């Protein structure tokens, strides 16, 4: 009796659901996609059969007793139980807990207790010390606003619902207990556990080794700027008043006062045709840099502090990619394929499952930080996607604590997670984990499928076969979302899935075949797209790219597998910056299925096995000189500007180049070399003063040779475990040394500075290249290799060609995935690669750098440098103007080294180089200045202290070069305003050039 009644109810419900989820007709559906849809199998309207309530009475009351866990602590890297990850400071943790419990901790939300934040049933790792938000918030930003406190009257139970379903859509402002304790500041915990340590920001040993350039006077040195300059400036014996103002030429050491022996031999004058970009005609951007082994003096080491226990390959391993959670530490952190994230449940969470959980979060479940009252629009300080919600888990009844997860075929755009019943078993589920994949696909080998949900199944409907041999189910979850599930049994038999409880569906014993799931926000028409591509899945991705003239193009293509793969197109999700740059053919295959990504706006499903993206307007002509979109390269400075440069330069040229670059840090050493290379170039090529720069040039080369000879304090080693070139600073027990270089953090930043310096040196002295090219190419190959088959280095370690920018985090386990703070040092790397390619005549490398700059200009504009009309970040976050640190799972308007506004914004400005005017759009720069650094804003640039002041005013040159010039040319200039990685000389030249002054 019941079944026809149920069918009627169900059909009614489906029709209602259709009207709710039906597509707005205004949404363009690509013509190709439409024509594909025509071939879709007939609607299996007679096959609907509800499976809820479960017919199987023995299993219908298995209601999970616990609730999903929202981890909303700010920065939760590093599981303390997992050496060698950063160890825990127990005292600090106890302090943190005391702080949480303290009744006067926060005015309105004192009813929260640690126990309500961390339920008793939570897995042990939830209550890990790193989850405890630090109380060490900066004093620079306001505490929780009254508003956020007012909103925080919600109880902890609404954050951590006792019954999951109703509260999945918890109020967006809920992070109430975070009002004070989650303050994303330079939290002690996050610093201690992050890739940066407080001590590595300002290394204790740095000052001692930094020369005090006696001619560089200073006072009031900044203590904030990450650069070796602080103490060197502070130690200087000269006061600011002895600075010879640009306007007082008579007292300035004239060029003739500068020792000039040997000047004529070394430095060439400015060439007649200074910028000679290679002519690009269908130039492949992915030709090999080199294939030889690293130089012999880079010793191999086989004892990397982070063991590779789970990635099964003898090839170089991607250390900074989206799936590192599969092989690092507990192996339970998410891989962010976008829009989905996947993680091995490993007996944790609500379900205690041993399967792989799939999560897709709607905007309404985001947790937001407190508002920043100082900024216009009072933006929230951070947003975070709750971790631990398991919408669907693909598992098997046989999996248990003996089950093991291994990683096979780790590559640039994919890896395969293989979940075995036990280490020795061949019963397994293989998950191809591919960026952008349209379904989560589990390839089962002789296991009984167990499909679970931590937010509970509301309805599961058997929905026929879209194609022969493929069995479809419609799944509605209690959070109101709709999913489709496809089963493709190897034997073609009905898989007979049964809903056995609110949280589990079971198949038959010994199942072999694929199970695929996808979330469908687009009703019937969305379902047609999913039906059409069901049964196939991508197994790996590949990129190609070329540059012709100033137009770049690149293509992502996927190898696929599955039933009828040869005649079934893939469905893949693209990020906003992809869609924006699709060529016409690809744009025609865009569907109306949109699912939000975790931190990059809506992803859009696209039909087909490849996408082609176009980047017009690459900065191919950009060279070493100041550059802008309107003026191009500016080589000719006015006599006034030249004079100022020649007057100011001697003070900076006489700094001790050798000592400033001889540090225990690749980062700081590279910055120093880059700074002096830029200075030498500016004085000789823009100032036209070869004499003045000659000695510095020699010393620069000598200083650079220290690194090529591998004689710096912490020499480089070739790590044969993960395969790459690392600093040895982290081999002594503290992986945070040198910003985590040894564990592959920040290589593009660190090595980018060396590469940029080398590009300049080699351009001024081509004879230098013979001895140094291999070493510099080694750095390029380590941080940004161009090929997948180099036995020594992985492809493109830092730059993620899918996400359109680099990830700085290396082998550090993280709840929130990879992250990147400094977008400007990311673009610096691309610029360095471009210019090094030009210097050594590697047109492919030059083209690659140009293309990376083009892609980054677009991705930064979409996600990181937020103009007021940004649509991809939450509207209440956009007022921050920059992301701060963008993780795969959260975005936090802060830095790893402090929370002052000028740090947060400034680390997206420095170093100011020719590419800055390309990657930081004038509109963005103007909006940011107005909102933050203008005289009437919260942090007037005039009042900022130390080297950040110089950074801000150099950045001002992008929109107001005249004001920038006035600042740097002012009387009584205080050299503490110049950070250790920059020079007043270059800043003057930069402002003069951009302003035509």
Ligand X SMILES: *[C@@H]1O[C@H](CO)[C@@H](O)[C@H](O)[C@H]1NC(C)=O
* Residue ranges in contact with ligand X by CB under 6 A: 594, 601-602, 871
- Nearer CB in complex with ligand X: 560/594: 594
Helix 823-840 to helix 843-859 angle, to the nearest 10 degrees? Answer: 160
Q: Give residue for tokens 């028409």.
A: 525
CA distances from 191 to 195, 200, 434, 735, 823 (A): 8, 10, 31, 13, 19
Instruction: Tell me how far, at minimum, the Cβ of 928 lies from ligand X, in Å.
Output: 21
Nearest to 568 by CA among 634, 456, 488: 488
Residue 448's SS3 state is: coil
97 CB-side CA count, 13 A: 13
The answer to whether 746 is a known catalytic residue is yes
Do the beta carbons of residue 727 and residue 742 sit within 8 Å?
yes
- Nearer CB in complex with ligand X: 309/871: 871
Residue 887's SS3 state is: strand
- Nearer CB in complex with ligand X: 182/602: 602
Q: Which H or E run includes 482?
A: strand 482-489
**Who's near 182: CB < 8 A, 6+ residues apart?**
72, 73, 74, 133, 175, 369
State the DSSP code for 371: B
Strand locations in 682-773 (E): 716-719, 724-727
The answer to whether 647 is a known catalytic residue is no
Q: Which H or E run includes 556?
A: strand 551-562
Following CA atoms 702, 704, 710, 715 in sequence, which dihedral angle do they give, to the nearest 10 degrees? 130
CA distances from 811 to 306, 414, 736, 742 (A): 7, 17, 11, 9
**Who's near 392: CB < 8 A, 6+ residues apart?**
357, 358, 440, 451, 452, 453, 475, 477, 483, 485, 517
Q: How far apart are alpha carbons 982 and 6 in whole angstroms? A: 73
Q: How far apart are alpha carbons 663 and 676 in whole angstroms? A: 15
Choice among 479, 652, 699, 746 that is catalytic: 746
Instruction: Tell me how far, at minimum, the Cβ of 480 lies from ligand X, in Å.
Output: 14
- Nearer CB in complex with ligand X: 593/798: 593
Cis preceding linkage at 911, omega within 30: yes
The answer to whether 659 is a known catalytic residue is no
Instruction: Tell me how far, at minimum, the Cβ of 24 lies from ligand X, in Å.
Output: 9
Instruction: Tell me how far, at minimum, the Cβ of 871 lies from ligand X, in Å.
Output: 4
Do the beta carbons of residue 515 and residue 487 sit within 8 Å?
yes
Instruction: Tell me how far, at minimum, the Cβ of 171 lies from ligand X, in Å.
Output: 19
Burial class (CB in 10 A: 0-12, 13-18, 19+), 384: buried
Q: How far apart are alpha carbons 101 and 715 in whole angstroms? A: 47
Nearest to 964 by CA among 705, 644, 520: 644
- Nearer CB in complex with ligand X: 530/897: 530
Burial class (CB in 10 A: 0-12, 13-18, 19+), 842: buried
Instruction: Tell me how far, at minimum, the Cβ of 598 lies from ligand X, in Å.
Output: 13
Choice among 782, 820, 825, 842 that is catalytic: 825
Instruction: Tell me how far, at minimum, the Cβ of 592 lies from ligand X, in Å.
Output: 8
Instruction: Tell me how far, at minimum, the Cβ of 870 lies from ligand X, in Å.
Output: 9
The rounded radius of gyration (Å) of the Cα atoms in the chain is 29
Cis preceding linkage at 21, omega within 30: no
- Nearer CB in complex with ligand X: 27/163: 27
Q: How far apart are alpha carbons 613 and 577 in whole angstroms? A: 9
- Nearer CB in complex with ligand X: 502/594: 594
- Nearer CB in complex with ligand X: 190/597: 597
Instruction: Tell me how far, at minimum, the Cβ of 518 lies from ligand X, in Å.
Output: 15
Q: How far apart are alpha carbons 975 and 221 in whole angstroms? A: 8
Instruction: Tell me how far, at minimum, the Cβ of 597 lies from ligand X, in Å.
Output: 10
Q: How far apart are alpha carbons 729 and 490 in whole angstroms? A: 52
End-to-end Cα separation, the chain, in angstroms: 88
Instruction: Tell me how far, at minimum, the Cβ of 602 lies from ligand X, in Å.
Output: 4
- Nearer CB in complex with ligand X: 500/860: 860
**404-408 and 311-312 strand pairing:** parallel
Choice among 77, 821, 826, 861 that is catalytic: 821
Q: How far apart are alpha carbons 362 and 507 in whole angstroms? A: 29
Nearest to 723 by CA among 407, 320, 315: 315
- Nearer CB in complex with ligand X: 202/878: 878
Instruction: Tell me how far, at minimum, the Cβ of 525 lies from ligand X, in Å.
Output: 13
Q: Give residue for tokens 């199944």.
A: 457
The dihedrals phi and psi of 234, each to the nearest 5 degrees, come to -65, -30
- Nearer CB in complex with ligand X: 601/740: 601
- Nearer CB in complex with ligand X: 175/523: 523
Residues with catalytic annotation? 746, 821, 825
């Amino acid at each position: 009796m019941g079944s026809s009644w149920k069918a009627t109810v169900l059909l009614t419900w489906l029709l209602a659901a259709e009207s709710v989820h039906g597509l707005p007709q205004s949404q363009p559906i690509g013509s190709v996609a439409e024509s594909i849809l025509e071939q879709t199998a007939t609607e299996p309207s007679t096959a609907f059969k509800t499976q809820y309530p479960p017919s199987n009475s023995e299993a219908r009351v298995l209601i999970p007793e616990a609730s999903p866990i929202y981890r909303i602590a700010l920065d939760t890297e590093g599981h303390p139980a997992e050496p060698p990850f950063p160890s825990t400071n127990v005292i600090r943790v106890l302090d943190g807990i005391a702080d949480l419990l303290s009744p006067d901790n926060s005015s309105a939300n004192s009813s929260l207790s640690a126990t309500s934040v961390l339920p008793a049933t939570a897995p042990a790792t939830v209550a890990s010390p790193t989850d405890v938000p630090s109380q060490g918030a900066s004093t620079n930003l306001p505490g929780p606003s009254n508003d956020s406190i007012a909103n925080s009257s919600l109880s902890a139970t609404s954050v951590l619902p006792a019954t999951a379903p109703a509260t999945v859509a918890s109020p967006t402002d809920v992070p109430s207990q975070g009002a004070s304790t989650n303050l994303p500041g330079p939290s002690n915990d996050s610093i201690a556990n992050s890739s940066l340590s407080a001590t590595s920001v300002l290394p204790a040993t740095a000052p001692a080794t930094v020369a005090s350039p006696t001619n560089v006077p200073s006072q009031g040195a900044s203590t904030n700027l990450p650069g070796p300059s602080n103490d060197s400036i502070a130690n200087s014996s000269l006061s600011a008043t002895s600075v010879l103002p640009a306007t007082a030429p008579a007292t300035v050491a004239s060029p003739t006062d500068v020792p000039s022996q040997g000047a004529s031999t070394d430095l060439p004058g400015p060439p007649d045709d200074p910028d000679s970009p290679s002519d690009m005609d269908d130039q492949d951007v992915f030709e090999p840099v080199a294939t030889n082994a690293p130089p012999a003096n880079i010793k191999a080491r086989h004892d990397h502090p982070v063991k590779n226990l789970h990635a099964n390959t003898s090839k170089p391993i991607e250390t900074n990619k989206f799936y590192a959670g599969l092989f690092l530490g507990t192996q339970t952190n998410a891989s962010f394929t976008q829009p989905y994230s996947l993680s091995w449940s490993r007996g944790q969470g609500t379900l205690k499952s041993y399967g792989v959980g799939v999560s897709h979060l709607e905007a309404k479940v985001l947790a937001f930080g407190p508002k920043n009252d100082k900024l216009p629009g009072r933006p929230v300080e951070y947003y975070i996607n709750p971790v631990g919600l398991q919408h669907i888990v693909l598992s098997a009844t046989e999996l248990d604590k003996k089950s093991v997860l291994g990683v096979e075929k780790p590559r640039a755009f994919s890896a395969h997670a293989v979940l075995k019943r036990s280490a020795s078993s061949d019963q397994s589920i293989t998950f191809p984990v591919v960026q952008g994949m349209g379904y989560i696909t589990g390839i089962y080998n002789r296991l009984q499928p167990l499909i679970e949900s931590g937010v509970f199944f509301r309805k599961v409907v058997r929905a026929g076969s879209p194609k022969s041999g493929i069995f479809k189910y419609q799944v509605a979850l209690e959070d109101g979302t709709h999913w489709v599930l496809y089963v493709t049994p190897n034997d073609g038999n009905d898989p007979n899935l049964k809903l056995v409880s609110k949280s589990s569906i079971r198949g038959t014993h010994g199942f072999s075949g694929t199970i695929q799931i996808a979330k469908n926000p687009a009703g019937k028409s969305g379902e047609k797209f999913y039906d059409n591509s069901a049964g196939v899945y991508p197994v790996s991705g590949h990129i190609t790219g070329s540059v012709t003239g100033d137009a770049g193009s690149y293509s992502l293509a996927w190898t696929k597998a599955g039933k009828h793969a040869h005649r079934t197109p893939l469905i893949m999700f693209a990020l906003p910056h992809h869609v924006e740059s699709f060529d016409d053919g690809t744009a025609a295959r865009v569907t109306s299925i949109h699912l939000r990504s975790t931190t990059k706006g809506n992803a859009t499903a696209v039909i087909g096995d490849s996408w082609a993206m176009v980047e017009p307007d690459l900065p191919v002509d950009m060279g070493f000189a100041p550059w802008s979109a309107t003026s191009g390269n500016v080589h000719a400075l006015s006599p006034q500007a030249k004079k100022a440069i020649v007057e100011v330069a001697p003070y900076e040229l006489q700094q001790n180049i050798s000592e400033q670059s001889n540090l225990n840090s690749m980062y700081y050493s590279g910055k120093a070399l880059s700074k002096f290379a830029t200075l030498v170039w500016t004085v000789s090529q823009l100032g036209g003063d070869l004499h003045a720069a000659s000695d510095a040039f020699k010393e620069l080369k000598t200083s650079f040779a220290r690194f090529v000879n591998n004689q710096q304090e912490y020499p480089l080693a070739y790590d044969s475990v993960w395969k790459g070139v690392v600093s040895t600073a982290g081999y002594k027990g503290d992986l945070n040394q040198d910003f985590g270089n040894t564990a592959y953090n920040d290589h593009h930043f660190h090595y980018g500075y060396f590469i940029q310096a080398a590009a300049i040196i080699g351009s001024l002295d081509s004879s230098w290249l013979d001895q140094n090219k291999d070493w510099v190419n080694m750095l390029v190959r380590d941080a940004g290799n161009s090929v997948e088959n180099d036995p020594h280095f992985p492809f493109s370690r830092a730059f993620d060609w899918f996400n359109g920018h680099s990830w700085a985090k290396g082998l550090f386990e993280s709840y929130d995935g990879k992250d990147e703070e400094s977008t400007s040092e990311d673009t610096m790397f691309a610029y360095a690669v471009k210019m090094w390619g030009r210097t050594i005549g590697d047109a492919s490398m030059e083209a690659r750098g140009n293309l990376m700059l083009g892609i980054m200009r677009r991705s930064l504009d979409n996600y990181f440098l937020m103009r007021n009309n940004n649509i991809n970040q939450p509207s209440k976050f956009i007022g921050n103007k920059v992301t701060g640190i963008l993780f795969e799972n959260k975005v936090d308007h802060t830095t790893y080294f402090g929370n002052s506004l000028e740090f947060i914004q400034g680390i997206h400005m420095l170093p100011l180089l020719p590419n800055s005017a390309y990657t930081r759009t004038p509109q963005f720069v103007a909006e940011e200045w107005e909102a933050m650094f203008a005289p009437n804003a919260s942090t007037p640039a005039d009042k900022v202290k130390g080297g950040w002041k110089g950074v801000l005013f150099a950045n001002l040159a992008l929109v107001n070069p005249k004001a920038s010039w006035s600042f740097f040319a002012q009387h009584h200039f205080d050299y503490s305003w110049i950070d250790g990685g920059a020079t007043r000389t270059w800043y003057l030249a930069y402002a003069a050039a951009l302003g035509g002054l």
